[in-house]
Homo-oligomer: A and B are copies of this chain.
Amino acid sequence: MERRMNARPRLVVIGGDAAGMSAASQARRQRGTEDLEILALERGPHTSYSACGIPYLVGRTVSSSDDLVSRDPATFRDEFGIDVRTGTDVEAIDLARRTVTARGSDGEAREEPFDQLMIATGAVPVRPDLPGMDAPGVFGVQTLSDGIAVREFVDNEKPETAVVVGGGYIGLEMAEAFVQRGMRVHLVEAADEPMGTLDRDMGRIVRDAVAGMGVEVHMREPVTGIETAPGGRVRAVATESTRYAADIVVLGMGVRPNSDLARAAGIEVGPTGGIAVDARMRTSAEGVWAAGDCVQSLHRVSTAPVAIALGTHANKQGRVAGTNIGGGYARFGGVLGTAISKVCGLEVARTGLNETEAERAGFEFETEVLKSTTRAGYYPGATEMTTKILAERRSRRLLGAQIVGWENAAKRIDVLATALWNSMSVEDIAAMDLGYAPPFSPVWDPVLITARKLAERM
């Protein structure tokens, strides 16, 4: 606490990835170095990286981990006047004294004072409390360091068999990466179908496709433990019904908001486990902001809070927080739960509410599922895609959409996301003037036909 009373205001940022560094950079754009001191504290060695790129690093689609880093600490220091301390773990926030306790890579804890505090602590992977989960050869894929560790393990240890636990986006993308590295791959999932954010009928298409690409897919098999070899290294994954030999295990069981630090400081945490923030990204504590995977967001369709860990939200929310911290005005508009992924050529996307979510939110709704081609049927490369939409019974308003298909299928979800953002009815969607040419679409775009068919039925 050797700080002078007259020093320029100080922003402390906890977490140096998308949300934290977006906020820091945006605050800097608003306020010069003479007006605002910015200190960013990051537990790991990396800043502003693409966690979504990790499967491509492991699969060697991307050659170096450097490619996944958009700005390193030196860039922030030199170009933004932001002091980034990596290897620094924040252990506590003291709202009364307006300090954080930060333990540096030298092992020493320091009190760092702040005038404004930005919490961007991200998410933590779900790791069930089962025997062997911490054995060597068992990896999470949350941080870039995790990704580098997996890549090095595969490069050096040359595992022959992989078990991926969890059939969500990350799990499937990692399964693909391991297939690309020539490994035998088991995908083990407790639910009925992979991609739990899709409805079962759509998840089924994904399962069949992934199985067709050589991944051995095992559904309805909760993991009961990890078996280790003498010496401690992983040897197999045990499920309720059987066991799968494994030279490497990756956990892709989802994440939860990392809000413990905030909660311990007395900052409000919402029912989702994410830090409660308003549209300006203010927490319940004066001068304390939060953004990214550690917060909960308003879902525009259900109007309920949700915790969705995604780089796009983290970037936007960080930018909103930074603008407001810097004295500007910005609001975050909420989320739709849009997500997209590509697994061995299979494209999967969703937005809004799926059937389970719509039921939980109390909607009465109808659904329509349409199989179509991605291009004019006669045009080379036309492949099958399946579009599913949900609309509210009374208002005919779109509630959600899912797409599974091959080339040029999934990014069409953006049209439905834009329609959802505007609370469009299925009639209005069917009427829209979308781009048509044989290489891009049948003359009736699949999105439009699906909406039209549902509109006609309602």
Contacts and interface: CB of A to CB of B under 8 A. Distances in A.
Nearest to A320: B431
A342 B433 contact: no
B378 A441 contact: no
Nearest to A337: B433
B342 A437 contact: yes
A295 to B, nearest CB: 15
Given A418-B419, A428-B333, A436 B312 contact: yes
A198 to B, nearest CB: 14
A244 interface: no
A296 to B, nearest CB: 15
A418 B435 CA distance: 11
A289 interface: no
Nearest to A18: B443
Interface stretch (A104-112, A136-144, A250-258, A404-412): A404-412
Nearest to A441: B411
Contacts of A443: 18, 50, 52, 311-312, 315
Contacts of A88: none
Interface string A429-458: 001111111111101110100000000000
Oligomer: number of copies? 2
Contact of A418 (B18, B339, B418): B418
A61 interface: yes
A285 interface: no
Contact of A435 (B333, B377, B411): B411
B378 A431 contact: no
Central interface residue in A337, A377, A379, by most chain B CB within 10 Å: A379
B437 A378 contact: no
A342 B447 CA distance: 20
A270 interface: no
A173 to B, nearest CB: 8
Interface of A: 18, 50, 52-53, 56, 61-62, 67-68, 169, 300, 310-313, 315-316, 332-342, 349, 351, 376-380, 408, 410-415, 417-419, 421-422, 424, 428, 431-441, 443-445, 447
22 contacts: A50-B376, A50-B378, A53-B378, A56-B438, A62-B378, A67-B377, A169-B437, A300-B433, A311-B443, A312-B433, A312-B434, A332-B431, A336-B433, A338-B435, A339-B437, A340-B440, A342-B437, A408-B411, A411-B411, A414-B445, A414-B447, A418-B422
